[in-house]
């Protein structure tokens, strides 16, 4: 048997073993929580749906000695996308060892009978893309793509060319996710020109670009800023302005845009609070989960929940995460509420425009202006499901954390 045949057999195996969000919730728990269950997805799912399915993308340094076991454990707890990091998380003198470990980990995971998360490697440079692909054995079946850090109009083309070559060699779906975080993008004088060039570049490789990721930590470093745990990234105006422009250029709903994912939330430990928590008490009282609210506040997750909500309000789906405790929060807030689902169906059933009261009788649905929102909502419903009427994010988050 040749190496190519072995790889194709492994790919066929993975096509038969799909992923599904909230698969850790079984039986009555799932039936009580969901009006519509999340759909299965995998490497061969259509690109637009797969981009929404990323959800909380967890980073792990390639230097971890137990990397394969770590990925398996995270998958069991509901993580559906992960990045094996060869860049910021790896010291310069450990890079070669980290590459070998990343390749070995993928080769090991490719033989697993249970589904692994969608797996990507964050490389340091474009040349590493080809080096990784050349070194892979059966692990080619476990790799969905690469993350390109500090992507800009100069480095971007080399990254994309390397991705095209790798996809041709493997003859399977392979995606790139550029991270926008460079100083040229952040600086007001050069931003529009830079974003225009990046937009043109990505458009030429649309079928290879799964999502555009926002690197807010590097953006903050341009100004010597580190945001406080009591603030969301949208409170840091110089960075919020950059995010708004990224969405403006690259997140349009006219068919020219891409899914844009939210930046990382850095905090996860106990601390002394300077300001009042951002999390209202009422939803937790309604769900008899006031102690759970205190847990979230003590772990800085109230700020994360607020930021996820603002991500969505600003046209962003999914989020980069660096701690497993953040995953459940991102996914709970990604589930489509019964009210959103009802509105989206009503809007998409009408082609002639007009205005009508929502089925919940609490708002007006404008059939043409809200059509793009409705379409995106139904895409999200496919991969994250629809909550039962009366089920809140508190119920979903509580169930996910307690499993």
Per-residue model confidence as pLDDT tens digits over 61-70: 999 999 999 9
My answer on whether 141 and 177 are in the same domain is yes
Residue 67: CA count within 13 A, CB half-sphere: 28
Is 364 exposed, middle or buried, given 0-12, 13-18 or 19+ CB atoms closer than 10 A? exposed
Number of domains the chain contains: 2
Pick the last residue of a domain from 301, 332, 363. 332
- Whether 401 is in a domain gets the answer no
Please determine, for residue 5, whether its predicted confidence score (pLDDT) is greater than 80: no
Is 308 found in the same domain as 342? no
Contact 80, 45 (CB under 8 A): no
State whether 51 and 115 are in the same domain. yes
Residue 401 Cα distances to 2, 308, 328, 330, angstroms: 44, 17, 7, 12
- Do 44 and 142 belong together in one domain? yes
- C-alpha angle 17-21-23 in degrees, rounded to nearest 5: 70
Given pLDDT bands bounded at 50, 70 and 90, which one contains residue 293? low
Q: Which of 332, 347, 367 is the last residue of a domain?
A: 332
**Which residue carries 């959103």 as its tokens?**
340
Q: In terms of Cα–Cα distance, which of 262, 238, 264, 265 is closest to 251? A: 262
Lowest-pLDDT range of 136-145, 282-291, 294-303, 307-316: 282-291
Do 325 and 368 sit in the same domain of this protein? no
Last residue of a domain, one of 297, 332, 367: 332
Shared-domain flag, residues 353 and 247: no
Q: What's the token pair of residue 258? A: 């891409």
pLDDT confidence of 285, banded at 50, 70, 90?
A: low
Q: Which range (39-53, 117-131, 388-402) has the least confidence?
A: 388-402
Looking at the fold, whether 372 and 323 belong to one and the same domain comes out as: no
Residue 271 lies in a domain: yes
**261-275 confidence digits (pLDDT tens):** 999 999 876 555 444
Q: Are 308 and 326 found together in one domain?
A: yes
What's the chain's average pLDDT? Answer: 89
Kindly state whether residues 363 and 222 are assigned to the same domain.
no
Please give the Cα distance from 146 to 287 (Å, whole number).
41
Whether residue 403 lies inside any domain: the answer is no
> Does one domain contain both 327 and 381?
no
Q: Identify the helix (H) or strand (E) that includes residue 179.
A: strand 175-180
- Determine the structural domain holding residue 127 and report its residue range: 3-332
Distance set, CA 207 to CA 32, 51, 133, 211, 278 (Å): 38, 12, 19, 10, 39
């Amino acid at each position: 048997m040749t190496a190519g045949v072995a790889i194709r057999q492994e790919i066929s195996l993975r096509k038969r073993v799909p992923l599904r969000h909230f698969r850790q919730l079984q039986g009555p728990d799932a039936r009580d929580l969901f009006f519509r269950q999340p759909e299965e997805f995998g490497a061969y799912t259509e690109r637009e749906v797969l981009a929404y399915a990323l959800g909380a993308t967890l980073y792990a340094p390639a230097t971890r000695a137990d990397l394969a076991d770590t990925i398996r454990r995270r998958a069991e707890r509901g993580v559906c996308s992960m990045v094996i990091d060869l860049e910021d998380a790896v010291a310069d003198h450990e890079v070669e060892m980290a590459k070998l470990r990343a390749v070995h980990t993928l080769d090991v995971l490719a033989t697993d009978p249970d589904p692994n998360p969608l797996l990507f490697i964050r490389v340091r440079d474009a040349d590493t893309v080809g080096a990784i692909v050349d070194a892979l054995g059966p692990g080619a079946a476990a790799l969905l793509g690469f993350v390109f850090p500090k992507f800009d109009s100069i480095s971007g083309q080399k990254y994309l060319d390397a991705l095209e070559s790798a996809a041709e060699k493997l003859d399977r779906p392979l995606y790139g996710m550029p991270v926008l975080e460079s100083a040229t993008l952040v600086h007001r004088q050069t931003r529009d020109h830079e974003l225009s060039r990046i937009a043109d570049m990505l458009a030429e490789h649309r079928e290879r670009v799964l999502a555009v990721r926002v690197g807010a930590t590097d953006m903050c470093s341009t100004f010597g800023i580190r945001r406080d745990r009591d603030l969301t990234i949208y409170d840091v105006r110089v960075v919020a302005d950059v995010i708004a422009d990224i969405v403006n250029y690259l997140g349009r709903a006219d068919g020219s845009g891409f899914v844009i994912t939210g930046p990382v939330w850095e905090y996860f430990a106990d601390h002394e609070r300077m300001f009042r928590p951002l999390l209202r008490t009422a939803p937790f009282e309604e769900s008899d989960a006031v102690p759970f609210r205190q847990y979230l506040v003590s772990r800085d997750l109230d700020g994360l929940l607020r930021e996820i909500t603002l991500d969505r309000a600003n046209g962003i789906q999914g989020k980069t995460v660096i701690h497993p405790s953040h995953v459940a929060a991102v996914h709970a807030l990604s589930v489509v509420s019964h009210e959103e689902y009802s509105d989206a169906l009503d809007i998409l059933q009408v082609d002639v425009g007009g205005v009508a009261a929502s089925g919940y009788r609490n708002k007006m649905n404008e059939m043409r202006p809200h059509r793009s929102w409705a379409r995106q909502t139904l895409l999200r419903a496919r991969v994250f499901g629809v909550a039962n009427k009366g089920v809140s994010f508190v119920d979903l988050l509580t169930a996910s954390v307690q499993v």
